[in-house]
Amino acid sequence: MKAQKIMDSYKYSVELLSPLLICSGTELTAHEYLISNDVFYRLNLDSFIASLSSEKRIELEKALDSNDIIRLRKYIKENIRHLEHSFYSSPVTKDFLAEYFGKEDRPYNQLLIMECIRDSVKFQPYLPGSSLKGSLRTAVLDSIREAQGIVSWRFPERELEESLLEFQEKNKWGEWKKIMGKDPFRLISITDGHMVSGTSLIAEVFNSGFDRSGIFRFHGMQMFAEVLSGGEEGREAARFEGQMRFQTALSQSQIKRENRNYFNTIIPIDLIIKNCNTFYKAEMEREHSKFYEKAGGNIAAYSESLLAEAQRINSQNSCLVRIGRYCGVESHTLNKIRNPKTKTGKWGNTRNLCDKRYPMGWAKLTLHGE
């Protein structure tokens, strides 16, 4: 008897359409990196210190004890062999170079850089599978919400999620309780994606929006970040590859568990692809109409090119997704019912653009049969 197939496996690729920032949680201070010949070097300070002679170490200790950040930066810059004592290097934008050299000697400017997430062996950027899975989940949830006609929700959004995906049950007191084992997304496994092409670069991220007179402006503090290229200005777009596995039927152990079907829902891959295209294409169009079309100039032109690229994603195995930081709350929450908690109570009125032009986090996901 032929065994029942319960799992579909795919190789996936994610190609960036715009800059991506997935933070490692680390902000690099100016003595942890070096700019030389217009290239950024992430310094290996442990390796550098181990290479110092006893006399040089005494000089370093004096620089540290002085609490003079400019003196410390100068000491490292003059003594380190950056090609030998660095983890990796990245190109930098012209605007970042101007900011760096303009503020390098200011003691109260830390010149912090948000570092991209990298593996701990080869220090290569990667795409966390959890980030990609979260993007798929949002689109599926919004599709179910729309189908059920839910336009308001007065309870925490996570409870709606439990209801939509049917992983809650009533206990003996009649109260609804979350049962994580019934979450259908547990049947979907996504590995981290390793970067096979493309580059990272050090750039600036600017917060932007319309002022009271309706003029599109950049405001707030500049943020420096290591982003992955989406193909802007002739650069090679970053591309990731990994594996996805979708369970298409329940195993005998799952069926027999507690003498019932443990999962109420199995979400087919073609439905996920369709939901992602519907949700994210609509969000891209909404964001363009609300912000970039009115901003005009290079911002509008780039946004229009993104829209054209998104419309070309129409195969059965490809979809538009949005991942990473600075994607806007609308790309991570459900339509109609979203109510993010902010300090001011306001949200959705600004956007963060890389280099004052590029929206963040747009990508094309494609599945390839194994």
Mean pLDDT, residues 293-300 taken together: 94
User: Looking at 38-42, 219-223, 362-366, which range is the least confident one?
Assistant: 219-223
> What confidence tier does 8 reach under pLDDT thresholds 50, 70, 90?
confident
Cα(first)–Cα(last) distance of the chain, in Å?
24
Which residue ranges make up each domain of the chain? 7-23+128-200+242-369, 30-111
- Looking at the DSSP bridge assignments, the partners of residue 90 are 40
- Backbone torsions φ then ψ of 121, nearest 5 degrees: -105, -60
Residue 203, CB-side half-sphere exposure with 13 Å CA sphere: 23
Highest mean pLDDT pick, 110-114, 156-160, 325-329: 325-329
Mean pLDDT, residues 315-322 taken together: 94
Q: What is the pLDDT of residues 124-142, one digit of tens each?
A: 999 999 999 999 999 998 9
Mean pLDDT, residues 269-281 taken together: 94
Closest alpha carbon to 160 in 136, 181, 174, 144: 144
Q: What is the pLDDT of residues 72-131, one digit of tens each?
A: 888 988 899 988 999 999 999 988 888 888 777 776 667 889 999 999 888 899 999 999
Mean pLDDT, residues 183-198 taken together: 91
Above 90 in pLDDT, residue 262? no
Mean pLDDT, residues 8-18 taken together: 95
Mean pLDDT, residues 259-264 taken together: 51
Count the residues in the chain: 370
Residues 58-69 as b or e (16 or more Cβ within 10 Å = b) = eebeebeeeeeb
Residues 41 and 34: beta-carbon distance below 8 Å: yes
Above 50 in pLDDT, residue 288? yes
Mean pLDDT, residues 350-368 taken together: 95
**Where is 219: in which H helix or E strand?**
strand 216-228
